[in-house]
Structure 1
């Protein structure tokens, strides 16, 4: 009798375990669907948009090595510097729109979007001298005269591109918060195809050189923006876009504070890579060092943009669930996000190692530059692997509004640890570009560990309460609410 009852108990326990396993699998599948519903368009959009930068670099690289170095400096220093501020300031929009959507405060999303345009346009206009006076700035930084002149010319061409990013960045955050960003994926994919055709036509057929390559970049970047305007203003966002309103420029101080925290967080990360490129410019063979380093950085950035697409999903999922007040769903979503991202990182890590000797020739015909890229391939692969982790953790932080904490982590890991290590290895121990990249990797490793610890120790029930309080404090009544009261 005892024997048969023990068998029944074992079967019962086994059945319960199978049932739990089935429920867990169903939950993982459901969460994955929610993640990829946001991530897939975001990945396509980011990879295509960044692809236009890489394609332009490739065309310029086959025109002139001096202009390739000039483009690399503008793109990885000036543009990255300004983009860091704009992306950071805009990430407040990602936090607020995601939480507002979760709390069903739909009309507030359009107000947050307009506020971000207002803040970002003023910010970018203040930063214009960085592009207008690029040649004297880079002369002061000690760059070669020929490279500095190229930087000055290319910088002016980047102005229309930079202004387009204000709208493309914020609109993408606004649409993905409400899971309507598939339109951006289509527009970005079309942009990439149009950009390749325009670059070929202007550079190869019309032989317009640098102006042709940069003109194609400007035209293709604004193509996406006009498409986004048509989608929003054309009535495809009826719940979240109620038209332009004066409320968007009222009570800006709290939004500015969150935007500044977001800006510092992103800037400290993006500027870190920019400073490392600047350090490469002081190596013995500056043209080769800058070109090789920027090529590797663009390869890693292109791959990491896939992960950044998932980072966008992390922002949305965490913000939405915090807005709904479900802390358990937040924690479960983080686990699924991290598992998905690491698997993708491992795949690209293997690809970088397998094709290490051929990567450089995609961007240049110069043997010396291609060899330098090959020498960096192992470190590049490691960077790609790490890059599958820390963007997701940053996305979780943005979704929760924890940007200030991440800013402090980035400051210490990148500027107290990574940058000094890179400078010492590159210049004192004479490892050149390899030393700088090792320093960069050291900063990323410590940042990843610190962010992991921060997310692990976060009290998500407390974050739900903070989110609820913030949304109530910043809530403005819609016209529908006022009509109901009347």
Structure 2
């Protein structure tokens, strides 16, 4: 099903005046310069090539009135009315998103199980190589591509909430430029897998297999980028069901393709690795027609304009770098555990066991990710519409749901630990170590759930840089050294490495709560609305409002 667009919701968006009054206000509002503000309009000659935040106070006055109207409309509702409406809307978006996330992660799960059976004699080595390959992909593809996607999600949700439909598509064009600029770096890293892993102290034989898998993963990058851009544009409009269908089709086809390549050709484990590019290709192909038929696209697509796209690259770049750092520093904590495990005795068993543990964490967090993504979208829409009180209440809903869902997930993981671990490899030692690790680290799941909920709030508010700084300090500067102390000084092994990460996560959660209590939601709503306004407001306001109506 397609979730109704936010702009059609009477409850959320009856904050502007009638259409004619709004257009008159936009086109003829008086300029009220502050002391020292020049009335020179020569800086506007470049139209939308000027910064997204206009330098003329006319727009500021209009936005202030809209924000006041939005705040007044929300203040007339009780807390329970807002919570009730937003909980229903959050679940309506979260459930399809949850299924989509689950189906997106299932292919990797199936491939990791399948790859351990391509060569029984080398199953532990191949599985360890696959986990290292997945680790690098998580840092590069997950950190860079999905990190930039997080920034684009934020900007698109703000633009849609503020009824800036043309600006939404301008953002996707700028995102395309940013991704193209990142392609050479991604290619270089994925082509240098083996020497990079050897330099990091990994076993040369394992690094060789992992390097081949990384080279294969280069094929999926263009399709992953296409899918990420289209997904940002659609989910900002609360359209999520197409991702369910695309992920389901991708899961089925990629699994069949991987099985055929691995067991019916001479490709072996490389055949399994080829399943991922096939899956991403299918997802991009299935979502493209949805975008082309999207009413907002049909009515508001401004046509490709590279100069307009370049004008927005600095804005996306700044927020994108913060988003990449936010996700990368979080992943660094996980990544260093795998890398450090490769330096401990019995490295292949520990790497494989850690990979199984990371896999079960990912599986357990599928429902949580759906809630967090949906929550970030709803908060972003509310902030873009100037509804600060509503956004704050949504953040409380998301945080509570994150903690509850992750607690339930921990109980389920404890029950399935042994059979889940044995599904990956016939090696009894690896299975035993993985099962013990899962059960020892169950308290980490609720902590990570709360941290993920907090990160969705940072993301919706456009505070990715602050979140990146907290991730770096808590998970890398504090978590990694503490993990080494626990692992080496207290002889806790790989569980000690994770204990350090757990300590860093606790510190992050405390810092996040302190920030949440001190922050001004009204200011963030004001910033979100101003940030979505293009310089050429008078040229685009007509089509934006028409689409929103």
Question: How far 1:46 sits from its partner (Å)?
Answer: 1.7
* Counterpart position of 1:195: 254
1:59 counterpart = 2:120: no
Q: Is the 8 A contact 1:82 1:124 kept in 2?
A: no
The reply to whether residue 253 of structure 1 matches residue 308 of structure 2 is: no
Question: Displacement, 1:225?
Answer: 0.7
Rounded Cα–Cα distance in structure 2 between residues aligned with 1:243 and 1:302: 40
- Residue of structure 2 equivalent to 1:312: 373
Q: Are residue 341 (structure 1) and residue 402 (structure 2) matched?
A: yes
Corresponding position: 1:388 with 2:449: yes
How far off is 1:230 after superposition?
A: 2.1
1:328 aligns with 2:389: yes
How far apart, CA to CA, are the structure 2 residues paired with 1:200 and 1:477?
A: 56
Q: Which whole-Å deviations, capped at 9, do the CAs of 1:277-320 have from their partners, x for residues lacking one? A: 10111110111010111110121023223212211112111111
In the alignment, the residues of structure 1 paired with residue 433 and residue 149 of structure 2 have an alpha-carbon distance, to the nearest angstrom, of 36
Rounded to whole Å, the distance in 1 between the matches of 2:158 and 2:85 is 20
Instruction: Find 1:283's aligned residue among 335, 341, 344.
Output: 344
Asked if 2 retains the 8 angstrom alpha-carbon contact of 1:348 and 1:381, the reply is no
Is residue 133 from structure 1 mapped to residue 192 from structure 2 by the alignment?
A: yes
1:12 equivalent in structure 2 = none
1:94 to 153, 171, 177: 153
| Offset at residue 26 of structure 1 (A) | 5.0
Give the superposition deviation at 1:473: 5.5
Match of 2:279 in 1: 220
Q: Is the CA contact 1:44–1:189 (under 8 Å) kept in the aligned structure 2?
A: no
Q: Pairwise mapping of residues 167-246 of structure 1 onto structure 2 (< 5 A)?
A: 167-206=226-265, 208-235=267-294, 237-239=297-299, 241-246=301-306
Structure-2 residue corresponding to 1:469: 530
Asked if the contact 1:300–1:383 (Cα under 8 Å) also holds between the matched residues in 2, the reply is no
Aligned to 2:325: 264
Shift of the alpha carbon at 1:78? 4.2
Aligned to 2:109, the other structure's residue is in SS state helix
Offset, 1:58: 0.9
In 2, the alpha carbon distance for the partners of 1:483 and 1:253 equals 23
Contact persistence 1:77–1:271 (CA under 8 A): no
CA distance in 2, matches of 1:158, 1:474: 40
d(CA) in 1 for partners of 2:434 and 2:196? 28
Query: Counterpart of 2:178?
Result: 119
Point out the structure with the larger helix share. 1
Q: Tell me: CA distance 1:418–1:33, structure 2 relative to 1, closer, same or farther (3 Å).
A: same
- Shift in Å, 1:23: 6.7
Measure how far apart 1:433 and its partner are.
1.0
Q: In structure 2, do the counterparts of structure 1 residues 377 and 483 end up closer, same or farther at CA, with 3 Å as the change threshold? A: closer
The separation in 2 between residues aligned to 1:346 and 1:40, in whole angstroms, is 18
**1:398-449 deviations in Å (ceiling 9; x for gaps):** 1111111111111110112111111112223321111111112122222122
Residue aligning to 2:100: 45
Indicate if the aligned counterparts of 1:353 and 1:381 stay in contact, CA closer than 8 A.
yes
Aligned length: 463
d(CA) in 2 for partners of 1:144, 1:206: 28
Could you report, residue by residue, the CA deviation over 1:323-356 in whole angstroms, capped at 9, with x for unpaired residues? 1111110111112222222221121111112223
- The counterpart of 1:448, out of the listed 509, 515, 539, is 509
Please give the secondary structure, in 2, of the residue aligned with 1:52.
helix
Relative to 1, partners in 2 of residues 1:435 and 1:462: Cα closer, same or farther, differing over 3 Å?
same
CA 1:474–1:480: 2 relative to 1, 3 Å: closer
Do the aligned partners of 1:76 and 1:294 also contact (CA within 8 Å) in 2? no
Q: How many Å separate the matches in 1 of 2:403 and 2:503? A: 19
Q: 1:432 aligns with which of 475, 485, 493?
A: 493
SS at match of 1:54: helix
What per-residue deviation string (whole Å, max 9, x for no partner) do you get for residues 170-213 of structure 1? 32222111011211111112211222222333333446411221
